Structures are given as C-alpha cells and as structure tokens.
A and B are shown apart, each in its own frame.
Chain A
Amino acid sequence: MRAIVLVARAVFKESVRDRVPYSMVVFAVLLMAASYLISQLTAGQDLKILKDLGLAALSIFGLLISVFIGIGLVSKEVEKRSIYSVLSKPVTRAQLVLGKYLGLVATLAANLAVMTVAYYAVLVYVQITASEAARGAWMAPAADPRLLAAIVLIFGELMLVTAVALFFSTFSSPLLSALLTLGLWVAGHFNSDLRHFETVLDVQPVAWVARVLYYLLPNLAPFDVKAEVVYGIPVAMSHVAYTLVYAALYISALLAAAIAIFRQRDFK
C-alpha cells in the first residue's frame, strides 16, 4: 500500500505542475465568469443559463483534463521510458498502475475543487446582487447546495473516464488512447439507446450486438443530472449512491483488466 501511495503522490505532484490542465482550469473559471455576462443578455433565463453553463464547463474541462493526463499515465511513461527506472525499484506493476490511477484522481479532485469554488463564487455574487423581484422569480436559490449532487456525479463520471483512459493507455499509443477514450465517452452517453436497438433497426444480429455493447460499454447517462439541479428538482440520494457504486464496480473491472494487460507487457 505504501508503494501505491508513493506513486500516487509523485503523479499528483507531476500533474498539478503540468501547464496544460492548469490552463484548462483557468479557462473553465473564465468561462464561468463570462457566463454571468451571457446570462445578463437573456431575460428571465439568466440564472438557469448561468448554472447550466457553469456545470457544462466543469464537466467538459474536467473531461479534457482526465483524458489528457489519463492517457499520459502509462503510455507516455512507456514511450519516454521513464518506466524503466521505476520498475527496477521494489514496485510491482499492479502497484504502479493503481498508484498512477489514484494520483490522477487526486489531481482531478484538486482541479474540480478549484472550478467548483469559482462556480459558487459567481453564483454567490449573483445571489447577493440580484434584486428582490428577480430572486422571487427563481425556482431555486443561486448558490443552491443541491448543485453539489451534480458535481459529485461529474467527479464520479470523470473517475470512470480516467480509468477508461488508463485501461487504453496500457496497450496503445497516447493519441489512440485519447481517441478511444473520447469515443467511449460519447458512446457511454448514448448507451441506453442500445438496449432497445431493435425498435430502431429490426435486424436480430444487430440487435444482439447492440445488447452486448449495452452491457459492455459504460452507461454514463445516470451521471448527468445537470438538467434536474439547474431547475431545482431534487436528486435522490439513492440515485447518487447507486450511480457511484456502479462507477466503483466499473472502475474496479477496468483497473483489473489494465493490471492484467500491464503485467504481461514487454517494454522494448
């Protein structure tokens, strides 16, 4: 366990100093600030737009960060051969994979925390400066703590995406890993359509393949509760818990597969 924590700490240190994710966080924060101006242009819908844009920025930039660093976790390390020195130390390949994953999750959490603070700062500002009449028309307060449910689920989704990126990076190049991860993220959001594919195309073999893909691909739709929280509709705690358990199981399976592949690999 000590080795896993040591690897995770090194990954965290390395990742938070990387300029690319850092600039993504800055860009996301700027976008949140800008969304305040955009919301001023849309009478009546201003708070909804503000909340929606902020969560979208959090989600998209979080995704880019997890894919960008996630693919570099193993494939870049193999490509640049820094792995040679690490694996000659008393560290197993499984410990290395798990440490790298945890390190990136910690980086992701730090980035997401910064973006969340910026998001709430904008919302608190709106809450303080809004007129009494405007506040009365709101379906939910601006700095609504229920928005945190959406952010927690975004974090769960990003943890899963990171595990996908890590899985691909154990056997493919950084570019291919990035494309496969983004492809799977898109497919994961439309996964539920695959379950009843026969209603779209009534060809049995295709429907079977679609059904298999439905069970195989990650189902990311339950992680998206942005629409609910923006309108102030409560998200059941049970939904959040079940979705996070699903993420944990899927991540465990991906990490187990990544370790199995990584253990067999030759580093030429």
Chain B
Amino acid sequence: MAAAIETEELTKDFLVGFWRKRPYRALDGLSIQVQAGEVFGFLGPNGAGKSTALKLLMQLLYPTRGMATILGRPLGDPSMKRRIGFLPENPYFYDYLTAEELLAYFARLFGHTGADVAARVARALDEVGLAGERRMRLRQFSKGMVQRVGLAQALLNDPEVVFLDEPMSGLDPLGRKRVRDIIVGLRKRGCTVFFSSHILSDAEALCDRVAVLVQGRLVGIGRISEILNVDLKGWELVVASLPPTATPALAGRTRRITQLSDGHTLLELPSDVAPEALMQELAGQGARTISLNPIRETLEDYFVESVAAAALRKTGGI
C-alpha cells in the first residue's frame, strides 16, 4: 500500500534567546510512514514537537533538514493541497464573516464553484452540527463552536488525507463524540487521518497506529496491539457486603484493597491469583460479587513509560 504521508529525518531548529541566539531543536529527525486509509495518532506531552511536525507538513514552517511528501507529492504542491484538509490547534477565523461565508470562501479556494460550493458548505456545517448557526458571525461563536467550524473547513473538499491538530480541544463530551464519529466515518470512506491528541482514550479507540513523540524525538511507533502488552497484569474485583473478618485472609492475595464510596470494596489481584476460587471463598463468607475486570496495559501506561524512559535517557540514567 502506498504511503499517504512520509517524512524522512524531518528536523526543525528554532533560534531562541534575545541577545545571543542559540538553536533549539523542536523536532529531531522524524522519519515515519503513514499508509493510505490509516488513522494515525500522533501523541506526546506538551512541547513534544507535535504541532511543529504538523506545521512542517503544512509548510507553515520550513525544515532545517529532512524532507516529507504527502500523497507522493512534495509539500506545497497545489494539486496535493486540493486533496488534503487541515485543522490547526485552537483555530481562529475572521471575526466579521459568518460560518457560511468563511466555508464558501475556503471551498472556492479549493476550486469549487457555483451550486457545488453551497452544497459542500451546507453538508460540512451539518456534519459538525452547526447548520443552525450558519448565518452567525464567527466573533459570536464559542471556543467549541469555532473548533467545529475548523473541523468543517478541513472536511470541505472530501480530502484524501486529513491532518487534525488536537481536534478534541475545547469540545464538550457531545462534541468529542461527534468528532470521534466523524473520524470513524472518514476511515470508512478510506480517508487517511493523521491526528495529534492529548486524549489517549480517544487515540486508543480510534487509531490503527500511534507514534509517541517526546522532546522532539520519536520514542515509539506501531499498532496499538503491538505496542501495548496484551498479557494480563491482574484483576479488579468489586464485592459488596465484605465482612471485616475476611480482610486479614486477603492480605497476601491482593495487591491493594480500596473501600469505595458506595460501600463496595475494590480488590486488586495479581495475575497469578485465580479470581474464581477467591470469589467462591468470599461468597461463603457472605460477600457478593459486583464485577470482575482484567487489568491490561493501556495506551496511557505505554505513553507514561515512554515519556519517563525518554526523560531518563536525557538525564543519563540509562
């Protein structure tokens, strides 16, 4: 399958300092390939270089070294730009234009004309749930509404590749769900989605592959199923009516016992303890099982470990 996005040793230095300018490396030799039709998550803590990488791909910044292609074309190629969409982080648009006027302007820049413009604008606004506000000036929009306009303008041209920089930023839970649905819809129609996010649960639910960036460097990349340890790490058992006499017997077989606010007790079991036997034992003492869940590594665990390992490498700990 052809790579929709490819970067090779993409590097960006900024000059910092007032009197004595010195280079600061915001992105360090990023080499990735994103296949067509993939939903690719670009993760990293604040200041990791995610937005810098996206701005380099959009040619808002010029690289210090390295190169990149989108849909096999060099960056800045107008024919390629017609086939992509981009939502910047915390987007901002013109105060005195209405949402409809702004999108019509962008649709025309993509080369659309006549009735096609109106149809695309109406569909994009409908998709992000702003059909009712289409005649409102953008200065009257809330942050979440502006974010949704930003998403609409990124989808106007039925792009083959969409770049979304923190698409969930400023959105309420309903707005986030809508964005998740839109990304799922894009995947269904074969669109490549490249999105940066802090919200790891969204990335875990949506992405085929993720890359983790820390201090400008790529510290991990792969399929969620590959990078996360699928081995069982333990069990979470919630029981009700646990008699106090049962607690001493549990001490050696649980990692932690937590009293929950609803009167239930959460028992965290190591993976080598068979929960069925323990559940039977506790039932014999009058306790009732509420739930049992396996504990596996999450994307958050992987992310935290990657960031910690990178910090350790930097300080010379490894």
Contact = CB atoms under 8 A, between A and B. Distances in A.
B110 A84 contact: no
Interface stretch (B35-43, B91-99, B201-209, B266-274): B91-99
B88 A89 contact: no
A183 interface: no
Contacts of A267: 55, 60-61
A3 B86 contact: no
Interface residues of A, number: 26
Interface stretch (A6-14, A44-52, A130-138, A253-261): A6-14
Contacts of A3: 109
B110 A6 contact: no
Nearest to B62: A266
Contact of B94 (A14, A87, A89): A14
Nearest to B106: A89
A199 interface: no
Given A13-B96, A18-B96, A268-B14, A85 B110 contact: no
Contacts of B94: 10, 14, 82
Given A14-B97, A90-B82, A267-B61, A81 B88 contact: yes
Interface string B65-96: 00000000000001101101110101111111
B90 A85 contact: no
Contacts of B163: 88
Given A82-B93, A267-B55, A90 B101 contact: no
B11 interface: no
Contacts of A10: 94, 97, 101, 105
A6 B79 CA distance: 18
B88 A84 contact: yes
A92 B153 CA distance: 18
Contact of A85 (B62, B101, B111, B153): B153
B108 A87 contact: no
B280 interface: no
Contacts of B257: none
Contacts of B82: 90
B157 to A, nearest CB: 9
A264 B59 CA distance: 11
Contacts of A87: 58-60
B150 interface: yes
Contacts of A84: 55, 58, 60, 86, 88, 91
Contacts of A88: 58, 60, 81, 84-86, 88, 163
Contacts of B55: 84, 267-268
B143 to A, nearest CB: 14
Nearest to B163: A88
Contacts of B60: 83-84, 87-88, 266-267
Contact of B81 (A2, A81, A82, A89): A89
B96 A89 contact: no
B61 A85 contact: no
B61 A13 contact: no
Interface in A85-107: 85-92
A80 B95 CA distance: 11
B92 A82 contact: yes
Contacts of B86: 84-85, 88
Given A10-B97, A84-B88, A266 B61 contact: yes
Contact of B92 (A2, A6, A80, A91): A80
A85 B96 contact: no
Interface in B190-243: none
Per CB-CB distance, the 10 closest pairs between chain A and chain B, nearest first, are A17-B96, A88-B86, A84-B88, A90-B81, A89-B109, A267-B60, A90-B78, A80-B92, A266-B61, A14-B94
Interface of A: 2-3, 6, 9-10, 13-14, 17-18, 80-92, 264, 266-268
Given A87-B58, A89-B106, 4 more contacts: A14-B94, A88-B84, A88-B88, A268-B14
